[in-house]
């Protein structure tokens, strides 16, 4: 078929007929006839159904964005099977839409980010590490062309100093490299939407998707930026913004470099990054009295003073209310004076230690962690650090002749194997509950398990900590409590508890499900040979993504309600990735990765069922 149409006229006619709610998308909520005919002379082509009409809308906009005024109709794109289309869009469009750099080529996007606007002069403040002379020179020169405010950080960064930046927050420099007689920023992928920086654990899961899509250089850039953060900021940051300088995120660096090395086989690169990963392990996680607790297990502990400045306005009103009432002040006034240090309140200080620590955990927010996070040896954190130890052992044994020297110290695989076995023994002592047959977080202050049925209790499968008997017990006892129509819920309803006006929904709790949990659980089930349940869980998750994308103009958001299998999630912060016009150009970082990873693992027979949108209940009856 050779049928060419005017893009502008066709778009206008299509939206006028089919976009009845005026949101510049074609979804199942529109009440149009769901039948649209393209005409050129005597030739015509009729498009039917929400899905195919939304594909038509997207393809017209793609052609328009490429500078075309006419489009030759391509039925293969309009009638493309859902799984293949979603995967192709992620590979060919969304990763590109999420890619950023901290050089002149990428910094204009940051200037448009509303989080970077300052009241005084609408400039972007760029904080440069004390020890990076190249970055200081580059950004100082760039300041002549763009509205930038360049601040050199002090050699020693303290929580007290970071608090002084709250009213002039900005972006933290990432790695610049001299390439082709110029300076370029190492690329990185952002989660999407309002998350326009390089985030900690998001980056690992995004890298999984990037490697599957052969975006090797982009995954490399993200690992190189991790290395830069550890060198110059002392840790992998929650994200590269000034108010995150005292906060790290879940540790996945060893997994990232191991998986990248499988593709590059660059031993020199691996050696450099293995040194940095060991440095991070020892200086961020294994310092006693900080993130290492007296029982030998680890916790999160985000240092800092006062309220986290990134929280949305009104987020802490529930916590401030009683204190404001006792002081005979409005909540707004009390909160402002507390933030400025005019009011001292030790109870609030204690609360915010835990609140910032929840954010460091990546699970912000959840009733599992509220008010106690800094007192918990979390199952998932210790599983991740166990994997660091076993990754180090494996890399040193297989790629460095079982001897890896850093300064005056020499590490062998046995050294790290012993570390991992010590951690495993402690996890079995403090975190494994024999009567329940599952792992729970442990409150080392009260010396008691924290009983909360969470998807994080399955992460020991991913790390390879479990015996086969423990793995079977988790599959028999914990997994059924969390399995829902759209995959694994973050926790069960009973653990979350009843909701009310004073106890609102938290985004990391039931009924919501998240990509990193699914991806780790799938890999863990594979480790222990639970193929059938792995295939079922992958299918449930991908079915939910596919059905929502088919019904809602290609929407791929940050999170889902897995109980109802919908992207219409009701929790704080909304759902990033749902607000767009015509076509999403980004999806959402780790959601994109979870789709590509799931498709890479799913048997072809189930891919075919996904394309037919066969509900999970028909394939996996209870």
The catalytic residue positions are 364, 558
**Cβ pair 56, 37 in contact under 8 A:** no
Nearest-5° Cα angle at 515, 205 to 100: 45
The strand pairing partners of 376, in sequence order, are 443
The two tokens of residue 175 are 């790695």
Nearest by Cα to 32 from 57, 58, 9, 8: 57
Residue recorded with tokens 């990076």: 132
Q: What is the DSSP letter of 94?
A: I
> Which strand (E) or helix (H) includes residue 350?
helix 346-360
- β pairing state of 182-185 and 176-179: antiparallel
CA atoms in the 13 A half-sphere facing the CB of 346: 0
**Cβ pair 483, 471 in contact under 8 A:** no
Rounded Cα distance, 527 and 546, in Å: 26
Residue recorded with tokens 């693992």: 601
CA atoms in the 13 A half-sphere facing the CB of 607: 16
Residue recorded with tokens 């030759």: 72
Q: How many Å is the Cα radius of gyration of the chain?
A: 25
If one counts every other C-beta atom within 10 angstroms of the C-beta of residue 68, the result is: 12
**Which residues of 97-195 form beta strands (DSSP E)?**
99-100, 124-128, 148-152, 171-172, 176-179, 182-185, 188-189
Residue recorded with tokens 């060198």: 231
**Cβ pair 365, 506 in contact under 8 A:** yes
Q: What residue spans of 24-132 are helical by DSSP H?
A: 50-65, 75-78, 82-89, 95-98, 104-111
The two tokens of residue 86 are 């979603």
The three state secondary structure string of 474-539 is HHHHCHHHHEECCEECCECHHHHCCCECCECCCCCCCCEECHHHHHHHHHHHHHCCCHHHHHHHHH
Nearest by Cα to 153 from 178, 120, 187, 125: 125
Rounded Cα distance, 617 and 622, in Å: 8
**Cβ pair 284, 235 in contact under 8 A:** yes
Q: Is the peptide bond before 240 cis (omega within 30 degrees of 0)?
A: no
């Amino acid at each position: 078929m050779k049928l060419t149409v005017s893009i502008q006229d066709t778009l206008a006619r299509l939206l006028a007929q089919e976009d009845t709610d005026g949101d510049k998308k074609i979804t199942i909520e529109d009440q149009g006839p769901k039948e649209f005919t393209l005409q050129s002379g005597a030739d015509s082509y009729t498009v039917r159904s929400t899905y195919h009409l939304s594909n038509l809308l997207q393809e017209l906009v793609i052609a328009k964005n490429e500078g075309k005024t006419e489009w030759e109709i391509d039925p293969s794109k309009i009638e493309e099977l859902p799984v293949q289309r979603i995967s192709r869009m992620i590979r060919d469009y969304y990763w590109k839409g999420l890619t950023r750099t901290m050089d002149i080529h990428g910094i204009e996007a940051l200037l448009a980010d509303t989080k970077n606007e300052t009241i005084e002069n609408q400039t972007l403040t760029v904080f440069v590490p004390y020890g990076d002379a190249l970055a200081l020179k580059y950004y100082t020169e760039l300041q002549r062309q763009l509205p930038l405010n360049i601040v050199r950080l002090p050699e020693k960064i303290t929580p007290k100093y970071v608090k002084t930046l709250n009213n002039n927050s900005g972006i933290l420099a990432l790695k610049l490299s001299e390439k082709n007689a110029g300076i370029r920023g190492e690329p990185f992928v952002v989660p999407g939407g309002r998350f326009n920086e390089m985030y900690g654990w998001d980056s690992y899961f995004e890298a999984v998707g990037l490697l599957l899509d052969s975006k090797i250089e982009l995954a490399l850039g993200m690992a190189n930026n991790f290395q830069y953060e550890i060198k110059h900021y002392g840790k992998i940051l929650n994200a590269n913004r000034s108010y995150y300088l005292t906060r790290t995120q879940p540790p996945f660096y060893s997994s990232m470099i191991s998986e990248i090395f499988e593709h590059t086989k660059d031993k020199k690169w691996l050696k450099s990054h293995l040194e940095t990963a060991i440095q991070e392990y020892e200086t961020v996680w294994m310092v006693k009295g900080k993130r290492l607790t007296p029982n030998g297990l680890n916790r999160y502990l985000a240092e800092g003073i006062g309220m986290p400045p990134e929280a949305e306005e009104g987020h802490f009103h529930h916590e401030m209310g009683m204190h404001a009432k006792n002081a005979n002040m409005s909540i707004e006034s009390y909160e402002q004076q507390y933030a400025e240090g005019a009011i001292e309140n030790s109870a609030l200080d204690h609360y915010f230690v835990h609140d910032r620590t929840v954010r460091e955990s990546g699970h912000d927010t959840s009733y599992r962690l509220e008010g106690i996070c800094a007192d918990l040896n979390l199952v998932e954190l210790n599983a991740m650090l166990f994997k660091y130890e076993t990754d180090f052992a494996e890399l040193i044994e297989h790629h460095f002749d079982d001897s890896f020297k850093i300064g005056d110290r020499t590490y062998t695989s046995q050294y790290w194997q012993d570390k991992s076995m010590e951690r495993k023994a402690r996890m079995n002592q403090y975190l494994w509950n024999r009567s329940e047959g599952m792992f729970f977080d442990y409150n080392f202050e009260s010396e008691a398990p924290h009983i909360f049925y969470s998807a994080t209790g399955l992460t020991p499968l991913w790390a390879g900590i479990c015996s086969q008997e423990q793995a079977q017990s988790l599959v028999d006892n914990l997994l059924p409590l969390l399995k829902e129509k759209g995959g694994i819920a973050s926790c069960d309803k009973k653990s979350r508890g009843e909701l009310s006006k004073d106890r609102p929904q938290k985004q990391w709790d039931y009924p919501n499900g998240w990509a990193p949990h699914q991806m780790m659980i799938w890999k863990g089930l594979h480790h222990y040979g639970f193929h059938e349940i792995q295939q079922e869980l992958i299918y449930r998750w991908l079915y939910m993504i596919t059905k929502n994308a088919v019904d809602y103009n290609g929407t791929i958001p940050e999170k889902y309600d897995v109980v109802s299998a919908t992207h219409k999630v009701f929790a704080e912060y909304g759902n990033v990735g749902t607000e767009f016009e015509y076509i999403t150009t980004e999806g959402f970082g780790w959601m994109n990765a979870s789709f590509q990873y799931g498709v890479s693992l799913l048997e072809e027979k189930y891919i075919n069922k996904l394309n037919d949108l066969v509900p999970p209940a028909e394939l996996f009856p209870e």
